[in-house]
């Protein structure tokens, strides 16, 4: 249901259109109603004049992701972001939460407690407000291409993305196709968004985003009739 709303955004979707779309995917009307109720309670979806729209947090997250992708395609000056954990005595859950935050900001762990990435994204570095971190801008002594290759398995990411794209193109059953598209979205969320000089030849991120955009257009047509 969230994928349908994302594909239709900013247009709202009526309950009857949601039910019709659910039938297409083999999902019962009662299951759809229950899912939408939970999504509204969680703030992921809002009711507007008896229709459904994406909630503000998801709209903001989508805007943030789009801006980050645009940033990655602009000129890069060679600087890297660097964040060092400078507070001890944290619990396991606190350490895990910080790892999730840093990965969400597309940083990689150079070694335990040291996180970095090229400073090519103009998005706010919200993680810098965390009291356990000390943050810097730095220029590596060595080759940035080698450093990026040591931090991210770019070959594995490329191969996995191409396999998902091929599977999406080969899948026709609606529910299975939606599931593959969801996998593709999760894969795109792990794109390190590196500047072009650090990427391998034939980096597939743009074509993968194009494949998902085409699928979103399918969902838009389904949701809006």
Phi, psi torsion values for 117, nearest 5 degrees = -170, 160
Query: How many helices and strands in the chain, by DSSP H and E?
Result: 9, 6
Within a 10 A sphere around the Cβ of 56, how many other Cβ atoms? 11
CA pair distance 55, 46, nearest whole angstrom: 5
Can you tell me the distance from the alpha carbon of 185 to that of 187, in angstroms, rounded to the nearest whole number?
5
pLDDT for position 59? 86
Residue 50's nearest CA partner among 13, 5, 1 is 13
Q: What is the pLDDT of residue 57?
A: 86
Phi, psi of 82 (to 5 degrees): -140, 130
Please give the DSSP secondary-structure letter assigned to residue 200: P
**How high is the pLDDT of residue 225?**
67
Mind listing the pLDDT tens digit of every residue in the chain (225 residues)? 888 888 788 888 898 888 888 888 889 999 999 999 999 999 999 998 889 999 988 888 777 777 778 888 888 999 999 999 998 888 889 889 999 999 989 999 999 999 999 999 887 778 888 889 999 999 999 999 999 999 999 999 999 999 999 999 999 999 899 999 999 989 998 999 999 999 999 999 999 999 998 998 888 887 776
Please enumerate in sequence order all residues whose Cβ is within 8 A of that of 10, keeping only pairs 6 or more positions apart, or say none.
Answer: 53
């Amino acid at each position: 249901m969230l994928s349908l709303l994302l594909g239709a955004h900013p247009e709202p979707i009526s309950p009857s259109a949601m039910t019709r779309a659910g039938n297409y995917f083999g999902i019962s009307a009662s299951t759809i109603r229950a899912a939408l109720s939970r999504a509204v309670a969680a703030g992921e979806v809002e009711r507007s004049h008896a229709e459904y729209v994406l909630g503000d947090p998801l709209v903001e997250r989508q805007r943030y992701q789009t801006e980050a992708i645009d940033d990655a395609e602009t000129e890069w000056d060679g600087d890297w972001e660097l964040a060092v954990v400078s507070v001890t005595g944290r619990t396991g859950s606190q350490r895990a939460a910080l790892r999730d935050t840093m990965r969400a900001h597309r940083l990689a762990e150079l070694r335990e407690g040291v996180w970095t990435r090229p400073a090519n994204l103009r998005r706010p570095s919200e993680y810098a407000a965390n009291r356990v971190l000390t943050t810097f801008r730095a220029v590596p002594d060595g080759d940035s291409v080698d450093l990026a290759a040591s931090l991210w398995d770019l070959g594995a990411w490329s191969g996995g993305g191409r396999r998902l794209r091929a599977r999406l193109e080969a899948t026709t059953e609606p529910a299975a196709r939606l599931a593959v598209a969801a996998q593709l979205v999760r894969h795109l969320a792990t794109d390190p968004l590196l500047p072009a000089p650090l990427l391998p030849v034939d980096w597939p991120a743009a074509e993968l985003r194009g494949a998902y955009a085409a699928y979103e257009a399918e969902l838009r047509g389904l949701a809006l009739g």
